[in-house]
């Protein structure tokens, strides 16, 4: 594994093509062990001789100047060298033999004069002192011109100044070198002189011969006299002119050779040209088959260039017209190709450019007239647009088909987690749009920037329309697939075969669809499309956002409807005792939906408008408002149903005390906490809770909901809230009625029976009256009972309920009193006492109608004397004191 | 000679082969370089060889420029000669003309180098052909003497007689010439070291 080492080369310099003997060590074990020989960086042809010797010939691709000789063998790898080869350029003259082909450009640019110029300039660069001028930058030229105004540094000028020359070219040369240079120059000059001398020396024989001949000549002339001289001179002249002629002939020979060379070159180029021409039809075909239209364009241009003038030769004419025919075919082919879809924009552009190029070149021929393509670029645009539309349509139909199939095959084992077909379609069509539309737009851009400008002017209006059409189609398909019930008015596409169950499935996936669409939108925005086009998509996005929002909100309605399951009768609301956690849960649901909606739909992405921006989308907001109203309505219903719902065991009323009419086991006096902890909550209690809830919602909760909307960035749906509140009010009224009815049953309807509980009771037969009668006591007790029941739930409900009850009591009393036929004295006093007692005890809850009824009741009783009145008042006072603890609660003005 | 082991790059001695055409310059060179005797004659233009040799225990590089003997190349010789540090002036003892030509080569070298004491060997080649000798040994030695006592060696590229000797002798001359030059350049330093040496011997 010792790398090759080159230690000797013979010769050490030469032009390209020099045969070189390379010697060294490890130059390969066998001939096939030697892999390559590189001289001056250029590969050489070589012949292996031994492991110490290679014969090589330098290639033409080596670098000029000194360079390494590198031998590479498979056994030793890349080698090294101790010697260097110098490649130089040898100028070839017409009389110089050359072993290698000298490159000459086909157009005879290397004229003789030029070559001489080149060589002379080469000579001028050589230093007369034969010293290296490296490191001697010519930097003083301007100064030198000042120092030696009369002189010059140019060796060939008459005013040449050695000082100038040395300063200019050798200011950095050492003195020793200069001395050496000087002696070299001296020698050269001497050598030149010596050259003449050595010439004489080497040709001394010939010179002596010449001298002898001249001597003989002189003798002859002397001998023959002057007569012959003229003749001889004449001969001499003849010989001279002969030699001139022969030398001319010699040179003519050179000239002739040159001429011949030129001729053969010209012939070669003509041959090439015709070969090109005659082969062109075939090569065009071949290139057309290989889609190498660039080459065809170039070739055709070359032909047009070469034979642009009037060609009279019929053969060439025929070939040219044949070529034109083929080009016509190629044009047709290209025209078809550029309309082919799908293909890359660049490819399409290339076709268009080639076609335009060919058209421009063929313009004017009769073949051109036969196929006029107005605007190939436009055609390509149009085809691309149509292709996109068709792709949309195809995808649309394909997915419809798939949905139908899926429904048929797979209706049983539908996987809930897999995306519905329509959502898949939405993804697909968005991908198509985001992927292909930019291509169309870019093609259009290049069309209008003139890159694809043909012979005709571009049509900007139409292009915009095309773009608009494509985008509108895109939007329509999406609408039709996922928003079929909405905005059908835009349907320029056949509707998606409607299927409501599928529709319901989609709703949960709407945000996904929205995301797809937004991605597409953002990619379209990056294209710098006109606003008109973007607005089309924006409109769809707005619709989708709204629809999405509505769907989210609608979902909340369902949740609200199921709220009754969540009622735990858990009183939590501090500011409104009696209200349960139900409204809070409702608020949670609403907040959740609003939050989701806000994140999905309200949050703005690039170039989107706020969904509820003033009058921008009144209709949409109306929808939202309606849904909120429905939600509130449902909530009211839930409350109402919760209140009226009675489980089976409650259908039979609890066993009541015969006379009091009150459920025996009710936890009237239980504290709040025990009321909550009891597992079975009586219906009355639930009714009360619901009443409290309704009142709470009506008074506070719904108003507070407005803040929720503001918090999530929605406008407050005032109308919906107001309607919801009035709804709630109605529920409250209904429930109140039910409860009052219930209590009336237990209180009012017991007044009469308890009044006449003893068999022979009559107002006319009362013997003494020193205390409240039984029924009045009973009535008061019952009222206090109800009071406590309500108070345990919510003091806020006391007034509305008690007022109603008391009114009924008053009315009942009025009826009873009016129906009494006769009172004895005692009876009168007793009746007044009872009524006053009841009235006074409940005076806080007497409304106008109750007061009126009480008065009516008292009017029905014959008037008492003053004594009797006084008696009644005193008795009343003592009874009130007696029962003050029981009645105390009724006198609390603001029991909360 | 106590020589410090050379730490720097190994020294390079540039040898130039001069002499008329066909006297055996290339044969000597190739024999020295590759132990190879080339029978066929092919005129040299200018060949370059370089290899490492051990000269008196010191590794040096020898660079041999084998020049053209033919008159055609006389004009470019000057350039070659200038780079040479030592010259082997070769003639063939079977060819008197080649012997006469040595005079011209000698003159040209002295002229180019401008130095009378340039390392120089007069080499009479083809001594294996003694029976065809045209130049008497005495004449050769006389000329060497006349040139200021340059060594005269007879060689045979064919038998390898004295081939190594001429190259190594010349390299020694070049080497001693180089040390001489450096001594001249730093004469004092050398003197000091000599004086110290003397003292040492005294002690």
Here the tokens at position A242 are 């002969």
Chosen from A4, A10, A84 to mutate, greatest number of chain B CBs within 10 A? A10
Chosen from A7, A128, A190, A198 to mutate, greatest number of chain B CBs within 10 A? A7
Distance of alpha carbon A406 from alpha carbon A198, whole angstroms: 112
Q: Do B44 and A10 touch (CB under 8 A)?
A: yes
**What CATH number has the domain bearing residue A80?**
2.60.40.10
Instruction: Work out the average pLDDT over B49-58.
Output: 91
A82 vs B contacts (CB less than 8 Å): 50-51, 61
pLDDT of A178 reads: 83
Which chain B residue lies closest to A84 (C-alpha atoms)?
Answer: B48
- Confidence tier at B199 by pLDDT (50, 70, 90): very low
Q: Do B112 and A187 touch (CB under 8 A)?
A: yes
B33 vs A contacts (CB less than 8 Å): 7-8, 23
Q: Is the pLDDT of residue A635 over 80?
A: yes
Minimum mean pLDDT range among A529-533, A679-683, A815-819, B137-141? A679-683
Question: pLDDT for A406-442, tens place per residue?
Answer: 777 655 445 556 677 778 888 888 888 888 888 888 8
Q: Is the pLDDT of residue A125 over 50?
A: no
B32 vs A contacts (CB less than 8 Å): none
Is the Cβ of B59 closer than 8 Å to some Cβ of chain A?
no
Residue A841 maps to a domain: yes
Residue A454 maps to a domain: yes
pLDDT of A782 reads: 82
Instruction: Please tell me the distance in Å from B46's CA to the nearest CA on chain A.
Output: 5
Residue A245 maps to a domain: no
Q: What percent of chain A has pLDDT over 90?
A: 2
For A495, A527, A536, A603, the CA distances from A531, given in Å and listed in that order, are 28, 11, 9, 21
A187 vs B contacts (CB less than 8 Å): 78, 111-112
Maximum mean pLDDT: which of A1-15, A160-174, A824-838: A1-15
Is the Cβ of B82 closer than 8 Å to some Cβ of chain A?
yes
Whether omega for the bond prior to residue A182 falls within 30 degrees of 0, making it cis, is: no
- Confidence tier at B52 by pLDDT (50, 70, 90): very high
Instruction: Work out the average pLDDT over A32-53.
Output: 88
Is the Cβ of B60 closer than 8 Å to some Cβ of chain A?
no
User: What is the C-alpha end-to-end distance of chain B, expressed in Å?
Assistant: 21
Query: Which of A322, A355, A373 is the endpoint of a domain?
Result: A373
Burial A849-864 (b: 16+ CB within 10 A, else e): ebeebbebbbebbeeb
Half-sphere exposure of A734 (CA within 13 A, CB side): 16
Minimum mean pLDDT range among A356-365, A418-427, B65-74, B187-196? B187-196
Which among B26, B51, B114 is the nearest to A7, CB-wise? B51
Could you give the residue ranges of the DSSP H alpha helices within A203-226? Answer: 204-224
Half-sphere exposure of A576 (CA within 13 A, CB side): 21
Q: Do A14 and B111 touch (CB under 8 A)?
A: no
Asked if A765 and A667 count as a contact pair (C-beta separation under 8 A), the reply is no
pLDDT of B17 reads: 94
Would you tell me which residues 16-35 of chain B have a C-beta closer than 8 angstroms to some C-beta of chain A? 26, 30, 33-34
Higher pLDDT, A15 or B187: A15
Q: Do A12 and B34 touch (CB under 8 A)?
A: no
Instruction: Work out the average pLDDT over A840-844.
Output: 79
Which chain A residue lies closest to B36 (C-alpha atoms)?
Answer: A52
Chosen from B34, B40, B69, B181 to mutate, greatest number of chain A CBs within 10 A? B34
Question: pLDDT for A455-502, tens place per residue?
Answer: 666 665 677 888 888 888 888 888 777 776 654 555 566 666 655 555
| Same domain, yes or no: A78 and A161 | no
Instruction: Work out the average pLDDT over B131-146.
Output: 92
Which chain B residue lies closest to A192 (C-alpha atoms)?
Answer: B75
Which chain A residue lies closest to B61 (C-alpha atoms)?
Answer: A82
Residue A301 maps to a domain: yes
| Same domain, yes or no: A718 and A778 | no
Q: Is the pLDDT of residue A654 over 50?
A: no
Distance of alpha carbon A326 from alpha carbon A280, whole angstroms: 10
Q: Do B78 and A187 touch (CB under 8 A)?
A: yes
Minimum mean pLDDT range among A121-135, A766-780, B164-178? A121-135
For B4, other C-beta atoms within 10 Å of its C-beta total: 5
- Confidence tier at A655 by pLDDT (50, 70, 90): very low
Distance of alpha carbon B123 from alpha carbon B138, whole angstroms: 14
B48 vs A contacts (CB less than 8 Å): 8-10, 12, 83-84
User: What is the C-alpha end-to-end distance of chain A, expressed in Å?
Assistant: 109
- Confidence tier at A100 by pLDDT (50, 70, 90): low
Is the Cβ of B114 closer than 8 Å to some Cβ of chain A?
yes
Query: Which of A149, A177, A202 is the endpoint of a domain?
Result: A202
Instruction: Work out the average pLDDT over A142-147.
Output: 72
- Confidence tier at A893 by pLDDT (50, 70, 90): low
Q: Exposure of A410 by Cβ count < 10 A (0-12 exposed, 13-18 middle, 19+ buried)? A: exposed
| Same domain, yes or no: A179 and A326 | no
Higher pLDDT, A218 or A115: A218
| Same domain, yes or no: A389 and A516 | yes
Question: pLDDT for A214-270, tens place per residue?
Answer: 988 888 877 766 666 677 778 888 889 998 898 888 888 888 888 888 898 888 888
- Confidence tier at A64 by pLDDT (50, 70, 90): confident
B65 vs A contacts (CB less than 8 Å): 12
Is the Cβ of B41 closer than 8 Å to some Cβ of chain A?
no
Distance of alpha carbon A735 from alpha carbon A643, whole angstroms: 7
| Same domain, yes or no: A369 and A383 | no
Q: Do B111 and A187 touch (CB under 8 A)?
A: yes
Instruction: Please tell me the distance in Å from B49's CA to the nearest CA on chain A.
Output: 4
Here the tokens at position A436 are 């292909």
Asked if A781 and A809 count as a contact pair (C-beta separation under 8 A), the reply is no
Here the tokens at position A757 are 């509980």
Matching residue, tokens 């045209």: B134
Which among B50, B111, B114 is the nearest to A83, CB-wise? B50
Question: pLDDT for A363-398, tens place per residue?
Answer: 777 777 777 777 777 788 888 888 888 888 888 888
Is the Cβ of B9 closer than 8 Å to some Cβ of chain A?
no
| Same domain, yes or no: A136 and A160 | yes
Q: Do B33 and A187 touch (CB under 8 A)?
A: no
Cβ neighbours of residue A45 closer than 8 Å, sequence gap 6 or more:
A56, A57, A59
| Same domain, yes or no: A399 and A515 | yes
Is the Cβ of B103 closer than 8 Å to some Cβ of chain A?
no
Burial A794-830 (b: 16+ CB within 10 A, else e): bbbbbebbbbbbbbbbbbbbbebbeebeebeebbbbb
| Same domain, yes or no: A657 and A723 | yes
Distance of alpha carbon A320 from alpha carbon A324, whole angstroms: 6
- Confidence tier at A647 by pLDDT (50, 70, 90): low
Q: Is the pLDDT of residue B119 over 90?
A: yes
| Same domain, yes or no: A367 and A383 | no
Q: Do B51 and A82 touch (CB under 8 A)?
A: yes
B44 vs A contacts (CB less than 8 Å): 10-11
For B28, other C-beta atoms within 10 Å of its C-beta total: 27
Report the relative pairing of strands A19-25 and A53-57 from DSSP bridges.
antiparallel
Maximum mean pLDDT: which of A508-517, A866-875, B27-36: B27-36
| Same domain, yes or no: A365 and A383 | no
Distance of alpha carbon A567 from alpha carbon A583, whole angstroms: 10
Domain span at residue A130 reads 107-202
Instruction: Tell me the whole-structure pTM to 2 decimals.
Output: 0.52
pLDDT of B150 reads: 93
Mean pLDDT of chain A: 76
DSSP A152: B
CA A127 to chain centre: 69
Cβ neighbours of residue A730 closer than 8 Å, sequence gap 6 or more:
A636
Instruction: Work out the average pLDDT over A538-551.
Output: 80
Residue A247 maps to a domain: no
B114 vs A contacts (CB less than 8 Å): 180, 183
CA A357 to chain centre: 36
CA A56 to chain centre: 63
pLDDT of B97 reads: 92
Which among B34, B48, B112 is the nearest to A83, CB-wise? B48
Cβ neighbours of residue A23 closer than 8 Å, sequence gap 6 or more:
A6, A7, A8, A9, A10, A52, A53, A54, B30, B33, B34, B49
Cβ neighbours of residue B39 closer than 8 Å, sequence gap 6 or more:
none
Distance of alpha carbon A471 from alpha carbon A476, whole angstroms: 9
Chosen from B42, B50, B63 to mutate, greatest number of chain A CBs within 10 A? B50
For A723, other C-beta atoms within 10 Å of its C-beta total: 19
Instruction: Please tell me the distance in Å from A85's CA to the nearest CA on chain B.
Output: 9
Asked if A164 and A153 count as a contact pair (C-beta separation under 8 A), the reply is yes
Residue A550 maps to a domain: no
Residues from A contacting B (CB-CB < 8 Å) are 7-14, 23, 52-53, 82-84, 130, 180, 183-184, 187
pLDDT of A894 reads: 65
Instruction: Please tell me the distance in Å from A129's CA to the nearest CA on chain B.
Output: 11
pLDDT of A551 reads: 80
Q: Do A8 and B82 touch (CB under 8 A)?
A: no
Residue A141 maps to a domain: yes
Q: Do A8 and B61 touch (CB under 8 A)?
A: no
Comparing CA positions, the residue from A558, A542, A556 lying closest to residue A594 is A556
DSSP A491: -
Distance of alpha carbon A272 from alpha carbon A262, whole angstroms: 15
Chosen from B48, B76, B80 to mutate, greatest number of chain A CBs within 10 A? B48
Task: Please report the number of interchain residue pairs, chain A to chain B, with beta-carbon separation below 8 angstroms.
Answer: 57
pLDDT of A455 reads: 65
Asked if A437 and A353 count as a contact pair (C-beta separation under 8 A), the reply is no
Which chain A residue lies closest to B108 (C-alpha atoms)?
Answer: A187
Overall domain count for chain A: 6
- Confidence tier at B66 by pLDDT (50, 70, 90): very high
Higher pLDDT, B65 or A860: B65
Give backbone dihedrals phi and psi of A636, rounded to 5 degrees, phi first: -60, -45
Distance of alpha carbon B28 from alpha carbon B17, whole angstroms: 9
Q: Do A7 and B50 touch (CB under 8 A)?
A: yes
A86 vs B contacts (CB less than 8 Å): none
Comparing CA positions, the residue from B56, B71, B72, B108 lying closest to residue B87 is B108
Distance of alpha carbon A402 from alpha carbon A496, whole angstroms: 12
Q: Is the pLDDT of residue A586 over 50?
A: yes
Whether omega for the bond prior to residue A11 falls within 30 degrees of 0, making it cis, is: yes
Higher pLDDT, A416 or A769: A769
| Same domain, yes or no: A711 and A854 | no
- Confidence tier at A587 by pLDDT (50, 70, 90): confident
pLDDT of A617 reads: 64
| Same domain, yes or no: A354 and A386 | no
- Confidence tier at A526 by pLDDT (50, 70, 90): confident
Maximum mean pLDDT: which of A182-186, A538-542, A580-584, B84-88: B84-88
Higher pLDDT, A717 or A82: A82
Residue A66 maps to a domain: yes
């Amino acid at each position: 594994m010792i790398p090759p080492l080159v230690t000797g080369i013979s010769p050490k310099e030469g032009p390209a093509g020099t045969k070189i003997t390379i010697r060294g060590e490890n130059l390969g074990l066998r001939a096939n062990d030697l892999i390559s020989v590189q001289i001056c960086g250029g590969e050489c042809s070589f012949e292996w001789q031994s492991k110490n010797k290679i014969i090589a010939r330098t290639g033409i691709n080596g670098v000029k100047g000194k360079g390494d000789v590198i031998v590479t063998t498979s056994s030793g790898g890349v080698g090294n060298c101790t010697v260097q080869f110098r490649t130089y350029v040898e100028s070839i003259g017409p009389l110089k033999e050359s072993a290698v082909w000298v490159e000459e450009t086909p157009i005879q640019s290397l004229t003789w004069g030029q070559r001489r110029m080149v060589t002379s300039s080469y000579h001028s660069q050589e230093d007369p002192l034969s010293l290296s001028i490296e490191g001697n930058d010519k930097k003083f030229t301007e100064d030198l011109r000042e120092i030696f105004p009369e002189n010059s540094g140019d060796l060939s000028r008459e005013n040449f100044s050695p000082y100038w020359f040395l300063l200019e070219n050798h200011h950095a040369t050492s003195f020793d070198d200069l001395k050496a240079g000087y002696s070299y120059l001296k020698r050269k000059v001497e050598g030149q002189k010596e050259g003449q001398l050595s010439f004489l020396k080497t040709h001394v024989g010939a010179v002596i011969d010449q001298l002898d001949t001249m001597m003989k000549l002189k003798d002859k002339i002397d001998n023959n006299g002057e007569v012959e001289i003229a003749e001889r001179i004449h001969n001499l002249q003849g010989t001279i002119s002969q030699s001139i002629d022969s030398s001319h002939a010699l040179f003519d020979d050179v000239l002739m050779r040159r001429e011949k060379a030129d001729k053969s070159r010209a012939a070669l180029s003509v041959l090439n040209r015709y070969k090109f021409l005659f082969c062109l039809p075939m090569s065009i075909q071949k290139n057309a088959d290989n889609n190498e239209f660039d080459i065809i364009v170039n070739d055709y241009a070359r032909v047009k260039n070469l034979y642009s003038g009037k060609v009279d030769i019929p053969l060439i004419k025929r070939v040219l017209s044949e070529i034109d025919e083929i080009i016509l075919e190629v044009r047709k082919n290209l025209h078809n190709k550029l309309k082919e879809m799908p293909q890359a924009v660049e490819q399409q552009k290339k076709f268009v450019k080639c076609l335009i190029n060919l058209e421009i070149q063929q313009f004017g021929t009769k073949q051109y007239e036969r196929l006029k393509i107005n605007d190939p670029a436009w055609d390509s645009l149009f085809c691309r647009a149509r292709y996109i539309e068709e792709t949309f349509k195809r995808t649309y139909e394909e997915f419809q088909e798939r949905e139908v199939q899926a429904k048929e095959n797979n209706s049983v084992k539908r996987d809930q987690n897999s995306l519905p077909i329509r959502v898949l379609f939405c993804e697909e069509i968005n991908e198509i749009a985001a992927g292909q539309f930019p291509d169309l737009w870019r093609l259009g851009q290049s069309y209008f920037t003139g890159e694809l400008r043909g012979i005709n002017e571009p049509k900007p209006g139409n292009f915009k329309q095309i773009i608009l059409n494509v985008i509108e189609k895109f939007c329509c398909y999406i609408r039709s697939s996922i928003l079929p019930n909405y905005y059908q008015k835009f349907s320029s596409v056949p509707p998606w075969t409607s299927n409501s169950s599928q529709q319901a499935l989609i709703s949960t996936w709407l945000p996904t669809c929205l995301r797809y669409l937004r991605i597409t939108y953002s990619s379209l925005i990056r294209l710098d499309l006109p606003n008109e086009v973007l607005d089309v998509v924006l409109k769809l996005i707005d619709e989708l956002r709204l629809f999405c929002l509505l769907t989210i909100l609608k979902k909340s309605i369902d949740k609200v409807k199921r709220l009754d399951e969540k009622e735990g009768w858990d009183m939590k609301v501090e500011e409104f005792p009696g209200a349960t956690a139900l409204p809070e849960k409702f608020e949670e649901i609403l907040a959740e939906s609003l939050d989701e909606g806000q994140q999905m739909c309200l949050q703005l992405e690039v170039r989107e408008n706020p969904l509820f921006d003033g009058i921008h989308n009144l209709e949409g907001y109306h929808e939202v408002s309606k849904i909120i109203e429905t939600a509130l309505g449902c909530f009211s219903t839930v409350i109402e149903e919760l209140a009226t719902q009675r489980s089976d065991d409650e259908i039979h009323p609890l066993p009541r005390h015969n006379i009091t009419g009150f459920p025996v086991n009710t936890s009237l006096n239980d504290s709040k906490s025990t009321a909550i902890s009891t597992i079975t909550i009586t219906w009355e209690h639930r009714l009360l809770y619901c009443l409290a809830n309704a009142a709470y919602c009506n008074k506070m909760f719904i108003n507070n909901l407005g803040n929720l909307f503001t918090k999530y960035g929605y406008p407050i749906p005032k109308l919906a809230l107001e309607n919801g509140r009035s709804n709630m009010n109605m529920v409250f009224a209904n429930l109140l009625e039910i409860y009052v009815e219930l209590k009336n049953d237990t209180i009012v309807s017991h007044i009469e029976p308890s009044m006449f509980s003893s068999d022979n009771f009559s107002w006319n037969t009362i013997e003494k009256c020193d205390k409240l009668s039984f029924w009045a006591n009973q009535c008061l007790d019952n009222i206090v009972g109800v009071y406590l029941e309500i108070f345990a739930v919510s003091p806020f409900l006391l007034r509305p309920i008690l007022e109603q009850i008391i009114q009924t009591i008053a009315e009942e009393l009025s009826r009873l009193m009016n129906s009494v036929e006769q009172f004895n004295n005692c009876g009168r006093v007793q009746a007044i006492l009872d009524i006053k007692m009841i009235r006074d005890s409940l005076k806080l809850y007497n409304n106008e109608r109750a007061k009126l009824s009480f008065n009516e009741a008292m009017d029905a009783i014959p008037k008492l004397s003053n004594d009797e009145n006084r008696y009644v008042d005193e008795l009343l006072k003592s009874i009130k004191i007696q029962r003050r603890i029981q009645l105390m609660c009724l006198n609390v003005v603001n029991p909360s | 000679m106590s020589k410090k082991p050379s730490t720097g790059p190994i020294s390079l001695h540039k040898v130039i082969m001069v002499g008329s055409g066909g006297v055996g310059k290339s044969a000597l060179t190739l024999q020295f370089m590759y132990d190879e005797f080339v029978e066929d004659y092919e005129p040299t233009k200018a060949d370059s060889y370089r290899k490492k040799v051990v000269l008196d225990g010191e590794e040096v590089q020898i660079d041999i420029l084998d020049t053209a003997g033919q008159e055609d190349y006389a004009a470019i010789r000057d350039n070659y000669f200038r780079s040479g540090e030592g010259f082997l002036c070769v003639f063939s003892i079977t060819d008197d003309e080649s012997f006469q030509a040595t005079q011209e080569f000698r003159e040209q070298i002295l002229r180019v180098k401008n130095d009378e004491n340039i390392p120089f060997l007069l080499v009479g080649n083809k001594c294996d052909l003694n029976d065809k000798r045209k130049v008497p040994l005495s004449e050769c030695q006389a000329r060497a003497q006349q040139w200021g006592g340059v060594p005269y060696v007879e060689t045979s590229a064919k038998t390898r007689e004295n081939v190594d000797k001429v190259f190594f002798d010349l390299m020694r001359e070049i080497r001693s010439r180089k040390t001489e030059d450096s001594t001249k350049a730093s004469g004092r330093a050398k003197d000091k070291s000599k004086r110290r040496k003397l003292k040492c011997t005294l002690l």
